[in-house]
Structure 1
């Protein structure tokens, strides 16, 4: 993971230290419209494209490269993030597709994180 970046969960909002967190009682959920038209919709599901951006930035990867996914045109806002994940082997896609605008499932989230942490 990129130096200075950490992922913490288990907070209910009133804690002042990491020791006060309770990850069993306070489930952490990543979701939201990240940067879409300047809005933040905290209850919207996170898309696979948004997850690609989060992984690239959190793990200090360089956006860019070439993507071979059929459903990610160069004009898609997340092309460089998806290409970066593909180029380092974090994302393999599904039958030649990345499905950038579909919500990321729990299983896909785990696969992204596993690939980023062990790649």
Structure 2
């Protein structure tokens, strides 16, 4: 079973979330782009921290991948594809977040199976 605070994929998710969260300080944004990046970045970082603390939380990795998809599509939905820095931060951050969540999913499944297997024996 994975130990808490050791999985590199979850640390990557935290770093990605913080980078997206802070990106509006250095890239041009609209009000909508800024809030999308702040909210999604904060959620990605928070979910990464939750996954670090509880490595058997499989749904956290699925939630992380959903957040990555939302980050990737946000420039299209909110309409900031013309803001190169903000758009590329969202696209790259979204793809990397989905990838980190997908790579962490087998480890989370393994940790969950190990944890539930011990609890189910009498």
Same fold (TM over 0.5): no
The TM-score with structure 2 as length reference comes to 0.26
- Of the two structures, which has the highest relative contact order with CA contacts closer than 8 Å and spacing of 6 or more? 2
